[in-house]
Each structure stands twice: as structure tokens, then as C-alpha cells.
Chains A and B, each alone.
Chain A
Amino acid sequence: MATLKALFTRAPGTPTAPGVHPEPLWSYRPRSDREAGDAVVSNLLLHWFPSKVFRPSLDWTYSFWLGTVSAALFLLLIVSGLPLLLLYVPSVERAYQSVKDLEYVVTFGWWIRAVHRISAHLMVVAVALHLVRVFLTGAYKNGVGQGQRREWNWVLGVVMLLLTLFLSFTGYLLPWDQLAFWAVTVGTNIASSIPWVGPTVRELLIGGRTIEQATLIRFYVLHCIMLPGALGVLFAYHMWRVRKDGGLARADHDALSAETRETAPVTTKTYTLLGVARGTAPTVKATSVEAPEQTVNAVPDLVRRAAIVTLGTFALVSILASGIPSPLEEPANPLVTPNPAKAPWYFLWLQEIVTDTTIRIGSFTINGAFLGGVILPGLLIGLLTVWPWLDRSGALSAGRWFPKDRRTQNAVFLAIVFVVLVFTVIGMYLRGPYWNFYWPWEAWPEIPARI
């Protein structure tokens, strides 16, 4: 016991070389500023943090920590996906049975599946809210720093949102039940409505003309290896860019609006050929977000909050997973289409548009699937991507909520978000058999399941 303790602690007064961290494990309570700075470079998990952070960037109500929540959910999805990987069989004969076993036979299998499913749904929500937050606060705008490229980090973020949606969609098929089969039928047929190349794109996506074994294995590999790998790499790059851009946009905003003041003269030492010249640095008037009263040590202040958010997310998902059962419908049956057949909820606004946008001009018909499923979302994603270059508001309006000179674009953005939400709610709750409109208090008519 004593030797074990000796291994992890340092005798007081033991001399160490500068820059070398003497302890095999990093201690949570740094005893000095020096140790706090060292903690960041000597610990693998912390090396992506800065040593000092701008205090207002840590505010709960500025960022709502939505990026951290998304990252925590991604971590949880990887961790809860590992046991599923060992229990799930990606074959059309056995997929459904293995998920059913997971749900009813494997001890705690239902809970692991529920954690995975709920984290996936919440991750779509968290990533989307993160995007909304960054847009509303204009956090993709550059401020005072040299070489800032926040707009590129925004583009990375848009790509990561698409990857998140695609990850969720590929996971949707894996249980191979009716819900999965028909959601994917509808989803992949949207791709085939693209003029000329559509049917080829669909065939490549599902590995044939019908949704079969080739589709299942493609979606499985995309879901378990390719998409998480791509998202992981982009996530690392996203975090690195945040560092290179000087942290959150809020720091730039405060630096721009702060009064310049004199820095205290400090003593300097210059090594010359003839010896050491001592003197005092000139006094300069400047603003600095690195002023001591504006910053805190990343260890422990940033780490503590990140830990609270991460553990809080884990706790919330665990509790939700204990109470919300994961649905598993009848095994996939290509012969029977459920009525109504609905896409995953985050695509329902698209399905709603797909239903409403078939336009007939004389004998000429524009396919609603192409308009609502390809053109409109393509346009929205394109606009989102290039928006940082179209946004002409001043640098001072970055990094704060509802600035005056971004009022119009924020209002339009919120209006689009609102329309998407309304369509989602209509698709979720107000569409019954044959996609007819029913109020929640209206009963759906009895429809025979088979012809």
C-alpha cells in the first residue's frame, strides 16, 4: 500500500526539472498557477484545453455548453455502442431476433439499447441547438485575433450536423423492423428523385434495387465505422480550430469593447554578448483578454464545468433510459406498408414538404420528392454553409445574444427554425392514415392491415 501511494505522490521538496511533470497521474487540485498550467500539457485528456480561459466564456447562459453536451452524447454513444456491437448480428435473417434478444433476454440489454437510442435522439437535438446558438450569437464571426478562421469552423459544424443526421438515419435501419424498413424505403427513394443520377445514387447507397442484405451491411458499416470515424476526426479538428481562433467569440467581443489601459511595467532581462542587461519594458496602452482579472486557470475552472456538463448529460440519459422503452415493431415486411409510414422525426418536416410540394403545370409534373427532399434542404444547407461570408454585420455584434445590427437575420433564421419545428410537429402528431390531417382529439379510421 505504501509503495502504491509512493508511486502516485511526490515527496515534498523533491527537485524536478522545469517542464517535467513529476507525477504519473495528474492531480485534480493544482497547488500553484505553475502546476495548473503544467496540468494541461502533461495530461493526455487535457492537452486540448488552453492553460487559461476567458472567464465570461464559461458562463452557463452564454453558450449553454451545448457543444460539450453534444460531445458528451457522442462519447456516450460510442461507449453504449460497444456492447451492442457484440450482441447485434447484421444479417437480415438474424438482425431482428438479435435486437429482440437484446430487448428481452440479455440482462440490462434493454437499458443499453435505450441509452444508445436516447443519446442518438438527444444528440440530434443538442447539435441543432448548438448551431442555433452559434448563429444567434454570431459566433462564426472573426474578431481581433490574427489568422482567425471562425467561418471555417462553422462550415465544419454544418458538416458535423449532417454526419450526425446520417449516423442516426443509418442506425434507424439496423433493428430491421417495420419502422426501420419503411423509414429507409421512403428516405432512400428521395435520393432516387434526383434527375438522371438519382436511381444510380440510390442503388449505390442500398447496394441493389431493393432494400436487402446488401443495404443492411452497408448501413451497418457506415453506422459503426465510417461515419463515427469521420465525425471523430472532424470533432478533433473542430476543437483545434476553437483553440486556434482564440476561444469563443465572446472573448473577442469583450476585447473589442474594453477600454484600453496601461500595462504594468515589468522588469526585463536581455542576454547580450557582453552580459546580462537589465531594464524595464516600455509601458503600452492596450486591451488584453489575457489580463489576470479576466482569466481563470483552465484547470480546474474549465475542467470542473466540463465535468459537470458531461456527468449531468450522462445522468440525464441514464434516467431517461430507465423510464422510456425503445420501440420494436414487427419484423420488416417488404410486402406490407404500415399506414401511415413515417420517416424519423428529424426528417418529418422534409416528409411534410415532400407531401405538399408536388406541382403540376399542365401535363408537366415537378416531383415533390425532388423539390422537398433535395432542392429545398440543399438550398438551406447551402445557405447555412455560406452565411458567414454573407453576414455583413460589424465585429462588435459577434459573441453576444441578440445584437441590434443582426436583428433582421436573426429574425429570419428564427422564422425558418420555427417553420421547421411546426412542420415537424404536424408530421409527428397530426398526420394519420394516408397522411391525412387529423387533430389529436380526432380518432383515426379503422384501416384493414392487409388487402
Chain B
Amino acid sequence: MAETPKNPASADRREFLLKAGIGAGVAAIGLQTVASLRSLVPNVSYDAPTTVKIGPPGEYPDGLKFLPDERLFVFREGKTFHAISAVCTHLGCTVRAEAMSQPEQATVEGKSLRLTHRFSCPCHGSRYTGDGANVSGPAPKPLAWYHLTLSPDDGQLVVDLAHEVAHDFRLTLA
């Protein structure tokens, strides 16, 4: 500061202008930072759609069919269908199904279910029973069950990968 202003009002003004200048600079940098960071949050998702047609029910054998693209196991027991996610709830690896030598009849959430397989994860060794319940290893949750419907236009099975359902869910065909 070269000279001390004699007038207190002019000192106030200088101080105000200095603070306003610094404030404007901080605001400008702050907003630019916010704008740059916000641009990194995607507005449009190019991920695969969550509602997927997975073929007519007739193509599904009794037992299990694995759909790699959807990372999904689809089970068929006569006319009823249910779908269990193949994504391990620990760290997202794809679990593998092992056929059991002897299918078991179990009651899951009040409904009877024929268990033909069990699942294990190759990454950290989590194990799941045939209804997706986590029994050992680091997996914190059971495997997700997804909602199944029939497409009204061409009668294909439709899975909604964004719609988790309880373990008593069944799609029964007429």
C-alpha cells in the first residue's frame, strides 16, 4: 500500500473492492470447477437396457439356462419360471452354477422350490444355495431375483433387471 488513505470512507471502499475482487475470483474458479466436475456425471447412459426380451418360454429346458449377456440364470419347473442374478453380491464377479447330484425339495419363503443347482463365486469363494441364499464366503447378501413377465406382443419372456423381487416370485404360464 503506497499511501494510507486519510478518509475512512475511502479505506472502506478500497477494502470492499478488494474483497469483492477476491470473492469474484473465488466464485469464478468455484463455478468453473463445479461445471467441469458436473460434466463428468453422465446424463445419458449407454449401458445395456435393463428390460430385456430373452426369447420364447418354449426355448427353455426344464431346469436351468444361463444367459451370459444378462448374467442371469433362468429356472424352469414345468410351467413356472423364476430368474436369479449371476452377479455375486460381494464384488460383482459372475458366479458359476454346479448341478447337484440329487435335486432337493425346499420351502423358500413359504413356497416350495426344487433346488437343482448351487452357486459359487470364482473370485473369493462365496457359496450360495439353489435359491440364491448366501451360505459361506464373503458375500454379504443373497443373489438377486428378478421380475419376469411375458411380452404382450410376441409372447417372449421379459426380464426386468432393475426390478428385484422376493424369493417367492414365480411366473406361471397358463
Query: Could you list which residues of chain A lie within 8 angstroms of chain B, going by C-beta atoms?
Result: 182, 185-186, 189-190, 193, 203-204, 207-210, 212-214, 218, 335-341, 351, 354-358, 365-369, 433-436, 447, 451
Contact = CB atoms under 8 A, between A and B. Distances in A.
Given A186-B91, A341-B93, A204 B140 contact: no
B69 A337 contact: no
Nearest to B69: A335
A207 B92 contact: no
B71 A335 contact: yes
Given A186-B91, A367-B138, A451-B97, 19 more contacts: A182-B123, A185-B91, A185-B93, A189-B92, A208-B45, A208-B46, A214-B42, A340-B123, A355-B137, A356-B138, A365-B141, A367-B140, A369-B91, A434-B121, A435-B123, A435-B125, A436-B125, A447-B122, A451-B96
A365 B142 CA distance: 11
Interface of B is mostly: loop
Nearest to B99: A451
16 contacts: A186-B123, A189-B90, A204-B41, A208-B42, A208-B46, A209-B47, A336-B68, A337-B122, A338-B122, A355-B125, A358-B137, A358-B140, A367-B138, A434-B120, A434-B122, A435-B124
Contacts of B41: 204
A354 B138 contact: yes
Nearest to A448: B96
B1 interface: no
A355 B94 contact: no
Given A207-B42, A213-B46, A341 B138 contact: no
A208 B141 contact: no
Contacts of B141: 365
B93 A182 contact: yes
Interface of B: 40-42, 45-48, 66, 68-69, 71, 90-94, 96-97, 120-125, 137-141
Given A209-B45, A212-B46, A434-B120, A190 B40 contact: no
Chain A CB count within 10 A is highest, among B41, B93, B120, for B93
The 9 closest A-B pairs by CB, nearest first: A339-B122, A335-B68, A368-B138, A435-B125, A189-B91, A358-B138, A367-B140, A434-B125, A189-B92
A436 B125 CA distance: 7
A337 B94 CA distance: 6
A337 B90 CA distance: 14
B46 A214 contact: yes
Contacts of B139: 358
A368 B123 contact: no
Nearest to B91: A189
A182 B123 CA distance: 9
